[in-house]
Structure 1
């Protein structure tokens, strides 16, 4: 089983035109294995958990890593081989060290292969199909709330074209989702993307590049190369640095006002196309004309889109809540309390999966430094339906309007369970917002039962809460036909 770093090296050499035999020789990997990964196009992560078994060498790996790191400052011929490392461990830790030489050899080989993964020379003359990516920061008004957002900009230095997508964070999930949306809009993939060393996709330390595992899969899936700027060397990607400022001044002034950030993303694509009508700052042609030429250098999209989602097994507390990023708490379901739950982490959503892989709950992903709590109201109401005695102290009761709270407080337990049942059914079929609006309307007309709540929700969706139902077909034609037939009967 190859590591993702090894797979990435195979795909990188494949893009450079090497065949399976040359790649196998370079990376010291079986030719059949190389050919298998050269044919592979789908690098989506499987939901199945991967178990890492402990090794007898785990105790000695930090020491081996330290020796290998010191080797980087030594002459090539004075560096440790796997055999010399094994000999030193046997001699310096006799009686404690009991690992075999092949175990050490495999570990050292894997470490050295990973260390050879370096970025290429950072060219200052940009060819068509090469891009730069970075984040900027701006303020927007979303659903009446002023907030600070992050925007990912992908610029193409050859044509000076740029495309922007907004998010609430700068994680690897945000980078991958933003790039995927831009690739889909363009209908192609840049051959190489240069990143800042501070983005969430990875980091360059001296000559070693460590990529985030999700982004590594994304990179292999779409087949582009990655380079990193040197620390404190933003001039190495000056095009996107300038584009960040240009985008803020021209696309975020005045303050954008939207109901949802995804709506703003569609507007940003349209603004980018309008902006490309201006001339390039030194080539004399429009950005649109230059980018049309550049699009022919883009690689084709893969047959299947990448699922930008990483999976984690997280512990839940006594209420079935789990914590992400050390400060953001999300609800799962009462039956998962004091256990573990599989969580799918995306750029904008957090998904809770059951043991069967089915979705059990969804949350909007929360960013920021302040502690937060997110509750999936659908699972909360479903739990209340089975335990209506918890209504008085529930989060859902506290979040409802005074009129709804007063009406439901007055119901006996069996009728409360019946109303909550109608709310759950409406939420499953029409969505929580519609179900809550139908409950408000049912309270206002004093018709509190599951049938009424569900009927109002259906009317809300199909005709509008206060709309007049469509007249439908004219059934009077049957009356006129029967009456007319009777009048002519002798």
Structure 2
């Protein structure tokens, strides 16, 4: 007979492949039908269910024992409680006649070391120094950081990729620590380093990479997209042990994240966008090459200069780091991506669109055409709407504009300025609520063809002159655009050259020779008018 249940399952599966029926397997091994079925379904027996701990007579006295063990932490080594002394005190001081010595001994054997660890006095672990070959090894990790983003305090995630030999580290801050950020951080770091480590890259058990941890071994069930990414860049992953023990196995990047956070992100940075912050981080990474790690004789940059040529070359083809979704546009002209909602043009309501989710932005496609691009939301359950996506619907429903969520978000983002509001109020007074609002919507539609700053300039000019129509705003906006794009060089002399020169910038006109031509006269036209007045009336 097989020695264990695993051997039993293996024997049943072997005999079943040889042609034995289920009934014959039951008779041969003396098991039931369900056991044979489970063996044929899986080679690994189901683990036994762990029963909940049963109450014991020792339970009321466990807090008393814990108190004695905690007192021993500060007592002289030769005057600490033994199991026998604990048992005697329970009998004499607390009348614990219903418990036995064996019960106390078993509890103390497990609990004494737990209390020492909780108090920070457990067994000291030894750390063995390691030597890293240049260009061979690296470490990767995420760390959370707090940033004041657009005036709001939010939690973001700092990605760090650190070469073990030189200590050269590349950082990137993302709105999330998801798989998209994990991939984009790798791509950015490898491009900055100019190559790929030829040896092992140490990781902890991030969900972006590891789907399942198999027992206490180093083996992992990897996420499929991570396996494809590793294969594309020829990365060799080494996964650390779970928990705090695994953190010591990649102490270089753990310490690097803490150092970077303390030296560059204190005080809390205040930025408008994450792109602005990442530009600052790129500069800090470059400056950090001039520092030395502990007592090393050379700087990080000098070590990296020797290590960089030993890295493996980057692949020629890029890897798509974003995650593609096929989504249906609801009646609010929105799509839902990872618990957040984003707007798309109203013409797509009821249709399916493709959304490519990146670490910092969301791009929406209708077929091959890009129809929307949003900055990715950080919090869950948020909504990001673009006022331009609703303009076709607002032309038919102008009364919905004053309370529109997209309008409030446009105001907060600075896209709908006080100049818009002032022109809108004047248009409503002149044309009425409906027609004035519709005129504003027509002005907003001009933003699809005119730059935002020129449109605001046109609105201000039209408001100043009292021209409260979309055509007048378009004319003033195009004048502002023409003024910005006026030629910077002297035009060729031609008829009407004086007017052309007058349109040049003042800095250019100052270097031109004086124009000695006489001013144009309209006297000849006046003679024609006089002749017409002298003509007799028929």
Q: TM-score, normalised by structure 1?
A: 0.65
| Residue in 2 that maps onto 1:364 | 375
| 2:448 counterpart SS class | helix
Q: Which residue of 2 aligns with 1:353?
A: 365
Partner of 1:343: 355
Separation in structure 2 between the aligned mates of residue 82 and residue 340 of structure 1, nearest angstrom: 52
In structure 1, what is the Cα distance between the partners aligned to 2:23 and 2:422?
77
Instruction: Determine if the alignment matches structure 1 residue 448 to structure 2 residue 468.
Output: yes
Measure, in 2, the Cα distance between the counterparts of 1:436 and 1:209: 57
Name the SS of the counterpart of 1:296 in structure 2.
Answer: helix
Question: 2:205·2:240 contact (CA, 8 Å) conserved in 1?
Answer: yes
Q: How does 1:296-445 map to 2 (within 5 A)?
A: 296-326=309-339, 328-354=340-366, 356-369=367-380, 371-385=381-395, 387-388=397-398, 390-398=400-408, 399=411, 400=416, 401=418, 402-407=421-426, 409-410=428-429, 411=431, 416-417=437-438, 419-430=440-451, 435=455, 439=459, 442-443=462-463, 445=465
Contact 2:346 2:392 in 1 (8 A): no
Three-state SS of the structure 2 residue aligned to 1:380 is: helix
Change (3 A) 1:84 1:422: farther
Q: Which moved more, 1:286-295 or 1:266-275?
A: 266-275
Corresponding residue SS for 1:427:
coil
Q: Do the aligned partners of 1:332 and 1:360 also contact (CA within 8 Å) in 2?
A: yes
Counterpart of 1:50 in structure 2 is none
Q: Unpaired runs of 5+ in structure 1?
A: 1-69, 93-104, 109-122, 485-490
Judged with a 3 Å threshold, the aligned counterparts in structure 2 of structure 1 residues 214 and 249 are, in CA distance, closer, same or farther, namely same
CA pair 392-148 structure 1, distance change in 2 beyond 3 A: closer
Distance (Å, rounded) in 2 between the aligned partners of 1:366 and 1:88 = 59
Alpha-carbon distance in 2 for matches of 1:216, 1:463: 55
Shift of 1:221: 2.9
Distance 1:127 1:194, change over 3 A: same
Contact 1:381 1:396 survives alignment (8 Å):
no
Rounded Cα–Cα distance in structure 2 between residues aligned with 1:142 and 1:279: 32
From 231, 246, 261, give the equivalent of 2:274: 261
Determine the structure 2 residue equivalent to 1:271.
284
* Map of 1:172 onto structure 2: 179
CA radius of gyration, larger in: 2
CA distance in 1, matches of 2:140, 2:351: 40
Name the residue aligned to 2:81: none
Q: Does 1:251 align with 2:303?
A: no
Kept in 2: contact 1:234–1:241 (CA 8 A): yes
**Aligned counterparts, 1:182-193, within 5 A:** 182-191=189-198, 192-193=200-201
Q: Which has the higher contact order (CA 8 A, sep 6+)?
A: 1
Measure, in 1, the Cα distance between the counterparts of 2:492 and 2:23.
Answer: 95
Deviation at 1:448, TM superposition (A): 3.4
Among 463, 469, 473, the alignment partner of 2:490 is 473
The 1:295/1:427 distance shift into structure 2, 3 A limit, reads: same
Q: Are the equivalent residues in 2 in contact too, given 1:426–1:457 (CA < 8 A)? A: no
Unaligned regions of 5+ residues in structure 2, if any?
26-39, 43-128, 499-514, 520-538
Displacement of 1:324 in angstroms is: 2.3
SS of the aligned residue for 1:281 comes to coil
Shift of 1:295: 0.9
- How many Å separate the matches in 1 of 2:19 and 2:306? 56
Alignment match of 1:230 (pick from 241, 245, 253): 241
Say whether residues 1:139 and 2:146 are aligned partners: yes
Cα offset, 1:124, TM superposition: 5.7
Distance 1:197-1:390 versus aligned 2 partners, 3 A rule: same
Q: What is the Cα deviation at residue 165 of structure 1?
A: 0.8
Number of equivalenced pairs = 381
Task: Please state how far the C-alpha of 1:152 moved relative to its aligned partner.
Answer: 0.6
**TM-score with structure 2 setting the length:** 0.60
1:200 correspondence with 2:208: yes
Q: 1:220 matched to which residue of 2?
A: 231
Structure 1 distance, partners of 2:22, 2:445, is: 63
- Taking only aligned residues, the RMSD between alpha carbons, in angstroms, comes to 4.1
Distance in 1 (CA, whole Å) between partners of 2:440 and 2:15 is 70
SS of equivalent residue, structure 2 residue 374? strand
C-alpha distance in 2, partners of 1:240/1:347?
Answer: 21
> Do 2:423 and 2:468's aligned partners in 1 also have CA atoms closer than 8 Å?
no
CA deviations over 1:372-400 (Å, ceiling 9, x no partner): 11102221224324554543543345545
SS of equivalent residue, structure 2 residue 330: coil
Match of 2:159 in 1: 152
Shift of 1:339: 4.8
1:151 Cα deviation after fit:
0.9
Shift in Å at residue 441 of structure 1? 5.9
Contact 1:159 1:280 in 2 (8 A): no
